[in-house]
Structure 1
Amino acid sequence: MFDFRQLRYFVAVAEELSFTRAAQRLYLSQPPLSQQIQALEQDLGIRLLDRDKRNVSLTAPGQIFLEQARQILAMAEETRVKVTEAAAGFSGHLKLAYTVSVSFHPALPQTLLRLGQNAPNVRVWLSEMYTEPQFTALRAGQIDVGFVRDEPSHEEDAHALRLDVIDREPLLLALPSGHRLADRESLEIGEIAGEPFVIQPRELAATLYDRLVLLAARAGFHPLVRQQAQQINGLIALVAAGIGMALVPASMRAVQLAGVSYVPLADPDAYLLLAVASRIENPSPVVQQFLQTVSEAKQVLGL
């Protein structure tokens, strides 16, 4: 049966209509080229070329074989490219989850933008998911990577997952614009003892809830919770309505709602982790390509 080398040799001769020029094009001497063409014709049992000392021409079967040979070689090259891209992580599928608050951080759009530029043939499936469910979904293979807001709290998650820290994002207080502290450049957490808060339920957003409780406890008080909202952007609407203040990551400044002011907290522990989580035992080239892209995005953003 003929092989790809013989097909390439035949196409060169058929296009050049000269064994001499075809041999030069292929960077080999003429005798081996002639031998391979003869072997191809013998294998097929068909004369593909008419040749004499001066001229070379295609027979009718040779013209058909030339068309087919070109298609076979093109398909082989396409397959080679696809396999090479897949091995390098430049094509394939990626299931990515992220918490709602991450959608306001520049790391997510910057990473997706760069991934689209670096690996346009990677199909990304996006889903919103809280941090703890992401760890469970990662271990179950339901997602490949996730933007999370905390480290794993369970030992089995910590052993199975890799965490690449992107940012320790400062936390702000979102206050009603008419509040007496809304014009301050920064606030100490103790200055808001007794003030009403709006929060997300702990079962949904344990990281932010626990950070608020920790900061308040260090200042000697427990937050007074006036109202809850399922999503972090819903908190901003409650703040605008004057129901209370909210602790939010700095990227939430992007939500410019009338009646809301943002004031930084002057506390070194007033931050929220942002990291990308993945399974340690996941050799997927696409995942590796994504993690490399996250690293590049982090450098571009100066994080």
Structure 2
Amino acid sequence: MALDLRQLRYFVAVAEEGHVTRAAERLGMQQPPLSQQIKALEGQLGLQLFRRRPRGVELTESGQVLFEEARAILARLEQAERATQSTARGEQGKLRIGVAPTAPFHPFVPAVIRAFREAYPDVSVTLDECLSRQAVQGLTEARLDAAFVRAELPDARELTIYRLIEEPMVIALPATHPLASGPGLTQRPLRDFAGESFIAFARVEGPGMFDATMAACLRAGFTPRLGQEAPRITSTLGLVAVGLGVALVPASMRRVHMDGVAYCDLVAVERPTVPLHLAARRGAGSAVLRNFVALVRRTAGAAVVGPPPTAPGP
């Protein structure tokens, strides 16, 4: 017959107190039922666990072995209970976050991830740089839990999109460009760059930046002449630095100081924006994910598009 956890707790209490009456008081029960439980345990094992003394009890050699094992078992059980409850509260577990290549340069993204790690230190957080289409694939295949994206993702039916920030865009241009100097550098109309080649950043895999560039130029009255395509924002700036064109980039990219690259603000009436959204899997969110989404939304004052993630099933 298997040992009863209740009996083990009774046994450990008596062993720790060295006295049946004191152990009964500690357990909130009467002494006779406790003595009966200890006798039943000894009968079940077929050996003596305690030596009776005038002022209490002491463990036999066999009792000492059971005492050490029983304490370890009960400690592991308590640890398992704490871990289970902590996981249910989202205080431990794993969180896999996709991050658009330009997102870490906006102070919001590193700040909110740092705040989450400080609030939930026992959650393992991993970051994966990915473009919009890669993020959608990672989320739908459950390789990611959430992702900071730049595109609108209109076809992502299995995801919930949280609108966070509409970030202004600026022109990145070669430092030797004629418009990269003089008093007019701080604000220029976008049409001043109508004759330039625009670097196409991640046109297929991350269309958010590309779409924002096309829309802004069309609103300014011209169709941009597309130059070389760049797979990453750093390579985009590299192409700008060597004079192969200009690029519309999020204003937070000013934090990237690259030799040969200057940044120019656009006049307010023509200033395009690019979104920074949080995408999350819908309906299968863990408590960890719900905590992260809640923190992000509180920080950004986000407006939700579509229903929030639902609680996981039992």
Superposition pairs of residues 153-192 of structure 1, within 5 angstroms: 153-154=154-155, 157=156, 159-183=157-181, 184-192=185-193
Once residues 294 and 202 of structure 2 are traced to their aligned partners in structure 1, the CA distance between those partners, rounded to angstroms, is 34
1:59-95 alpha-carbon deviations (Å, 9 max, x no partner): 1111111011011111111211222222222333333
Q: State the shift of 1:46 in Å.
A: 2.3
User: Which region of structure 1 is more displaced relative to structure 2, 55-64 or 119-128?
Assistant: 119-128
Alignment-mate amino acid for residue 257 of structure 1? M
Give the structure-1-normalised TM-score: 0.87
1:144 aligns with 2:145: yes
Extract unaligned runs of 5+ from structure 2.
302-314
Matches within 5 A, 1:162-241: 162-183=160-181, 184-241=185-242
1:53 is displaced (CA, Å) by 4.7
Alignment partners' CA distance in 1, 2:119 and 2:90: 10
- 2:282 is the counterpart of 1:280: yes
Give the match's secondary structure for 1:202.
coil
Query: What is aligned with 2:245?
Result: 244
Cα distance in 1 for residues equivalent to 2:273 and 2:199: 18
Farther off after superposition, 91-100 or 54-63 = 91-100
Query: What secondary structure, in the 3-state scheme, does the structure 2 residue paired with 1:127 have?
Result: strand
**Share of identical aligned residues, percent?**
39
Specify the SS of the correspondent of 2:180: coil
Residues paired across the two proteins, number = 296
> Letter of the aligned partner of 1:162 in structure 2?
T
| 2:306 match | none
CA contact (8 A) 2:171 2:246 kept: yes
Give, in angstroms, the shift of residue 283 of structure 1: 3.4
Q: 2 CA distance for matches of 1:79 and 1:201?
A: 47
Q: Structure 1 268/81 Cα, relative in aligned 2: closer, same or farther at 3 Å? A: farther
- Once residues 231 and 39 of structure 2 are traced to their aligned partners in structure 1, the CA distance between those partners, rounded to angstroms, is 76
- Quote the Cα distance in structure 2 between the aligned partners of 1:87 and 1:53: 49
CA distance in 1, matches of 2:100, 2:215: 21
8 Å contact from structure 2 (residues 180, 262) kept in 1: yes
Change (3 A) 1:16 1:125: same
Question: Cα deviations across residues 119-168 of structure 1 (Å, max 9, x unaligned)?
Answer: 334333432221123223322333222111122232xx2x3210122221
Give the equivalent residue in structure 1 for 2:60: 59
Structure 1 runs of 4+ with >6 Å offset: none
Counterpart code for 2:245: G
TM-score, normalised to structure 2, is: 0.84
